């Protein structure tokens, strides 16, 4: 893995951990978005669900105002209501109405008597809080009324910063005594149990209501306003409500008429009576449908933030944008589906923070990838696509560290090729034909070089220079180069047959290879013209070896350095000579590559024996042996040795001659 990728991964991980830190700090802006996704899950995704029929709202509505007059009504009307509900067999009544001041002795006395006689009515308490969260005042009904009624409850609903009621305190403290919420008191009355607070929540019968350390619980809303059974207050007072509608029911008395009810904002509605919010809480307790956002949810959220960020970064870093972008969308949808499935099971998992983590990881990785990798990839493709095959370019893109364009020493194999008698050939053809033939030849040879994973260095007229082992390291660079040379010669024969069929002259190819250490890099005039190439003595030697083919009549010659890098027994080679090329003091063994594989021909061993005689200074016997090879096989190197043996017979080489030959021409 390249340093650029490691840097991208590190930076992206830091940003992902930054998202986790924002989650831990409960960033107010992100929390506001998160709360909206929570509301969206209720109102748009899940919608309403059936509610408990044992909860009945007794509405202080427009109809009651129309018949009983302006609110507040006389407490004698409330006394009549209490008597009527008791007669109908209601389980318990919770009045979200306050009676803090005296009306008259008669009215207050009548109401108190009715409350005492019924024994199932509970009156509300409301707490008012100061800016620091402490209780500043408590609103209660008259002491005489409280004494005549059942245990009090509080009706406080605490909205979030955006005004939406999502949490409710199950207990508030009044004069060192815990006051249960309306919902907690009502559900306990219906179930016939007493609530018991604990460090894990509040137990009601067999239900454990999950809370935070302040005994606040999330409200799992069942349905929008209007979903619960509802009767008009005046209809109960006047006996117009059937006994079946009230028997064994929990009655919640609260205002629904415009102008007198406490408007609340819920996930379902911006205008919901507070009494309906309490009804939703009771319903969730009765059916054990609780919503949790505690330690477990936080752990899952943090894992999701980190895991999704890492996955998003991996996708963006590893795949093309045309593929990664749809996968990122699918990743977000998958997480959204998971969060919604958890929501249906009572777990509020964050949608905003993991989404933010994915988007940050995607955006950051995409930008950093462009900044560190894609620009370099484009540079690499632009620099090397005309030199090497797409396979090699892809390798460089995967590991740009191999493309050290600034210059380095590398062991490579260099190939030089040249067309024999091309000058004379071109002089006999019109310029257009010369260009056509040359382009066809160069195109075919280039295809072979790139198919053999070689680097096309340059065209030198009708000659070609290429090399293996750079920019991508290739342990088998010598083998690839020799195979390429054999394929080029075979293709040249095929082209020659085509040209002859059209009445044109066939051409032949000479190739020389050498292996060794060179300097490789981007060389030239910076800002003007730069080329990725190799330079050094071993490059010059490869060029000389290509030229040496001419006097020996061979087509593919390699040096001893290249031969040593080839696998043993794979290629048919014959040693041609030991040559001291122009500009070099040390003689270099050279070998002709005859073929890859195959059975050695009889003349190959005969040539080797003749060469041994020649190096032993037995020039007469060597001449006869080489002459036989010329006569029987028309072997071009043997023809050269016949002439050389004849010369040495007339003028022997000096004492200490090592059997080498010094080439006088390039």
Q: CA-CA distances (angstroms) from residue 33 to 42, 67, 351, 375, 559?
A: 15, 45, 9, 36, 73
Taking only the tens place, the pLDDT of each residue in 369-385 is 777 665 566 666 555 55
pLDDT at 528: 65
CA–CA distance, 191 with 360 (Å, rounded to integer) = 50
What mean pLDDT comes out for the span 23-40?
93
Instruction: Examine the pLDDT at 87 and tell me if it is beyond 60.
Output: yes
Instruction: Examine the pLDDT at 103 and tell me if it is beyond 70.
Output: yes
The answer to whether the peptide bond before residue 471 is cis (omega within 30 degrees of 0) is yes
pLDDT at 45: 94
Instruction: Examine the pLDDT at 394 and tell me if it is beyond 70.
Output: no
Query: Is there a contact between 571 and 476 (Cβ–Cβ < 8 Å)?
Result: no
Backbone angles phi, psi at 119, to 5 degrees: 70, 5
The closest alpha carbon to 377, from 405, 362, 364, 396, belongs to 396
Strands 661-662 and 571-580: parallel
What mean pLDDT comes out for the span 88-109?
95
pLDDT band at 38 (very low <50, low <70, confident <90, very high): very high
Complete DSSP assignment for 397-464: HH-GGG--TT-EEEEEEEEEEEEETHHHHHHTS-HHHHHHHHHHHHHHHHHHHHHTT-EEEEEETTEE
Taking only the tens place, the pLDDT of each residue in 305-324 is 999 999 999 898 888 888 99
Structure tokens at 71: 């609110």
Contacts of 371 (CB under 8 A, 6+ apart): none
Instruction: Examine the pLDDT at 92 and tell me if it is beyond 90.
Output: yes
Instruction: Examine the pLDDT at 403 and tell me if it is beyond 60.
Output: no
pLDDT at 382: 54
pLDDT band at 95 (very low <50, low <70, confident <90, very high): very high
pLDDT at 333: 96
What mean pLDDT comes out for the span 148-174?
93
Element (H, E) at 326: helix 321-344
CA–CA distance, 25 with 165 (Å, rounded to integer) = 22
**Considering the chain, what percentage of its residues have pLDDT values greater than 90?**
68
Residue-averaged pLDDT of the chain: 89
Taking only the tens place, the pLDDT of each residue in 535-581 is 999 999 999 999 999 999 999 999 999 999 999 989 999 999 999 88
**Considering the chain, what percentage of its residues have pLDDT values greater than 70?**
92
Element (H, E) at 538: helix 537-552
Taking only the tens place, the pLDDT of each residue in 229-244 is 999 999 999 999 999 9
pLDDT band at 520 (very low <50, low <70, confident <90, very high): confident
Residue that the structure tokens 């009504």 belong to: 73
What mean pLDDT comes out for the span 335-347?
96
Taking only the tens place, the pLDDT of each residue in 193-232 is 999 988 889 999 888 999 998 899 999 999 999 999 999 9
| CA dihedral (358, 360, 361, 367) positive or negative | positive
Position with higher pLDDT, 520 vs 665: 520
Taking only the tens place, the pLDDT of each residue in 411-469 is 999 999 999 877 767 777 788 888 888 899 999 999 999 899 898 889 898 899 999 99
Say how many C-beta atoms besides its own lie within 10 A of residue 49's C-beta: 13
pLDDT at 531: 78
pLDDT at 626: 94
Taking only the tens place, the pLDDT of each residue in 267-282 is 999 999 999 999 999 9
pLDDT at 461: 86
Say how many C-beta atoms besides its own lie within 10 A of residue 165's C-beta: 20
Backbone angles phi, psi at 505, to 5 degrees: -80, 135
What mean pLDDT comes out for the span 245-266?
91
Q: What is the pTM of this model?
A: 0.66
Position with higher pLDDT, 661 vs 612: 612
């Amino acid at each position: 893995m390249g340093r650029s990728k490691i840097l991208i991964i590190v930076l992206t991980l830091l940003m992902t951990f930054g998202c986790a830190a924002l989650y831990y700090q409960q960033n107010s802006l992100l929390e506001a978005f998160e709360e909206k996704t929570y509301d969206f899950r209720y109102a748009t995704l899940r919608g309403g669900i059936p509610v408990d029929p044992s909860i009945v709202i007794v509405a202080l509505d427009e109809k009651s105002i129309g018949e009983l007059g302006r609110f507040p009504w006389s407490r004698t009307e409330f006394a009549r209501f209490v008597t009527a509900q008791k007669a109908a067999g209601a389980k318990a009544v919770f009045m979200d109405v306050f009676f803090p001041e005296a009306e008259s002795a008669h009215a207050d006395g009548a109401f108190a008597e009715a409350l005492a006689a019924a024994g199932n009515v509970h009156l509300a308490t409301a707490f008012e809080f100061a800016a620091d969260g402490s209780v500043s005042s408590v609103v209660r009904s008259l002491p005489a009324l409280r004494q005549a009624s059942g245990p009090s409850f509080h009706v406080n609903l605490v909205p979030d910063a955006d005004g939406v009621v999502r949490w409710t305190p199950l207990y508030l403290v009044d004069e060192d005594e815990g006051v249960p919420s309306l919902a907690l008191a009502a559900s306990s009355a219906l179930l016939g149990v007493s609530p018991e607070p604990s460090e894990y929540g509040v137990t009601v019968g067999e239900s454990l209501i999950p809370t935070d350390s302040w005994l606040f619980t999330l409200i799992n809303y069942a349905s929008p306003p209007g979903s619960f059974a509802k009767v008009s207050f005046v209809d109960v007072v006047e006996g117009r409500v059937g006994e079946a509608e009230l028997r064994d029911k929990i009655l919640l008395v609260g205002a629904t008429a415009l102008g007198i009810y406490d408007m609340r904002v819920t996930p379902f509605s911006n205008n919901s009576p507070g009494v309906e919010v309490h009804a939703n809480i009771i319903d969730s307790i009765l059916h054990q449908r609780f919503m949790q956002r505690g330690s477990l949810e936080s752990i899952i959220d943090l894992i999701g933030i980190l895991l999704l960020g890492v996955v998003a970064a991996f996708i963006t870093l590893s795949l093309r944008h045309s593929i990664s972008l749809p996968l990122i969308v699918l990743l977000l949808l998958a997480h959204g589906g998971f969060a919604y499935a958890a929501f249906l099971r009572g777990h509020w998992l964050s949608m905003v923070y993991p989404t933010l983590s994915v988007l940050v990881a995607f955006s950051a990785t995409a930008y950093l990838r462009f900044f560190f990798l894609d620009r370099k990839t484009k540079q690499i493709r632009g620099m090397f696509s005309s030199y090497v095959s797409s396979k090699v370019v892809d390798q460089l893109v995967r590991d740009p560290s191999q493309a050290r364009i600034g210059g380095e020493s590398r062991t490579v194999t260099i190939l030089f090729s040249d067309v024999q008698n091309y000058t004379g050939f071109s002089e006999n053809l019109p310029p257009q034909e010369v260009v056509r033939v040359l382009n066809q030849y160069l195109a075919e040879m280039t295809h072979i070089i790139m198919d053999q994973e070689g680097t096309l260095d340059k065209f030198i007229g009708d000659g070609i220079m290429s090399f293996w082992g750079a920019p991508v390291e290739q342990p088998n660079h010598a083998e690839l180069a020799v195979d390429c040379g054999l394929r080029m010669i075979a293709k040249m024969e095929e082209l020659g047959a085509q040209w002859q069929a059209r009445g044109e002259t066939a051409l032949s190819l000479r190739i020389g290879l050498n292996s060794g250490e060179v300097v490789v890099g981007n060389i030239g005039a910076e800002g003007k013209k730069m080329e990725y190439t190799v330079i050094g003595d071993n490059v010059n030697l490869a060029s000389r070896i290509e030229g040496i083919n001419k006097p020996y009549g061979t087509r593919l010659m390699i040096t001893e350095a290249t031969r040593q890098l080839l696998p043993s027994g794979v290629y048919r080679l014959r040693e041609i000579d030991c040559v001291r090329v122009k500009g070099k003091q040390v003689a270099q063994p050279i070998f002709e590559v005859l073929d890859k594989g195959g059975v050695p021909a009889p003349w190959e061993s005969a040539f080797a024996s003749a060469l041994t005689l020649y190096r032993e200074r037995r020039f007469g016997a060597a001449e006869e042996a080489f002459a036989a090879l010329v006569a029987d096989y028309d072997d071009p190197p043997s023809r050269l040795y016949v002439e050389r043996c004849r010369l040495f017979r007339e003028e022997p080489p000096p004492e200490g001659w090592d059997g080498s030959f010094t080439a006088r021409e390039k």
